[in-house]
Structure 1
Amino acid sequence: MTLSSRLAAASAVLALGLSGCAASWAPQVNPVPYYTYYPASLGVVAAAAEKALPQAGMQFTGSKQVSPDTVEVHGYDSEGNAILITLRTKGAAVTKFSARIGLYGHLREVEEIEHWMGQYVGQAIARP
């Protein structure tokens, strides 16, 4: 075996070994944004988000009207991770919900918020 083929083989083994190490500790990032649609106006869904955060064990810190069709709801989870909920109107009675907690998403916590929001939106649209 020549020196160049030994170096190539050693480089390949080293690269494979390092890539395996990096994959074992790298955080899992959800490449697909988490969102859902609610059959309600932007105002109803924004009010539901404000109520849902405390019910999910999180802190609501405020909301902001970004544009006529977008509202951002802010808060923190129990670990101090920032929560950003973005609500966008998609029609008179359809609002898109998307949420992000911390740097990597925290899907389980987002699903907990969505559970409570679904209950509050359901109550609001069930009223006459």
Structure 2
Amino acid sequence: MAKFPLIPALGLIVILALSGCAATVAPQLNPIPYYTYYPASLSVVTQAARQALPQAGMHLAGVKQISPDTVEVHGFDPEGNAILITLHAESAAVTRFTARIGLIGHLKEVEEIEHWMGKDVGKAISASPPG
């Protein structure tokens, strides 16, 4: 009977040890698609996505027009994880950006892509003549 209290204690130790490991990995994980909105047309944001992947050290594999309002940008990161960026025109001047890398998201890398996209979209917006 003395062994039974030892089992829950060992279980608790294992859980605590694993939770420590998860804490170091968790900031990298993105279990849901990451998204943001850009105040620019679908074509401007698509061009920014094409430029952002190489700027972020990733490879652009291709761009596919899914519908008049939706474009997919495909690529892969240096580790070979698939990148899927979906761009959807919410209006003529607003585009929604959604991205996933691999199965678990890789939030840090997605944020790196978004950083470069933001710079490129900002340049395109500032270069366009006021309307």
TM-score normalised per structure 2: 0.79
Matching of residues 70-85 of structure 1 within 5 Å: 70-85=70-85
The answer for the alignment partner of 2:91 in structure 1 is 91
The answer for the alignment partner of 1:13 in structure 2 is 9
Deviations, residues 48-71 of structure 1 (Å, cap 9, x unaligned)? 101111111111001122233222
Amino acid at match of 2:66: V
SS at match of 1:104: coil
Structure 2: tracts of 5 or more residues without a match: none
Amino acid at match of 2:39: P
Amino acid at match of 1:90: E
**Identical-pair percentage:** 61
CA RMSD of aligned residues (A): 2.1
Q: CA 1:80–1:96 in 2, change beyond 3 Å: closer, same or farther?
A: same
SS at match of 1:80: coil
How far apart, CA to CA, are the structure 2 residues paired with 1:111 and 1:18?
A: 33
Q: Which has the larger radius of gyration?
A: 1
How far apart, CA to CA, are the structure 2 residues paired with 1:31 and 1:60?
A: 23
The answer for the alignment partner of 1:64 in structure 2 is 64
Which sits farther off after the overlay, 20-29 or 81-90?
A: 20-29
Whether 2:18 is the aligned partner of 1:22: answer yes
The answer for the alignment partner of 1:53 in structure 2 is 53
Where has structure 1 moved over 4 Å in runs of 4 or more? none
Amino acid at match of 1:42: L
Structure 1: tracts of 5 or more residues without a match: none
How far apart, CA to CA, are the structure 2 residues paired with 1:21 and 1:115?
A: 34
Amino acid at match of 1:70: T
SS at match of 1:18: helix
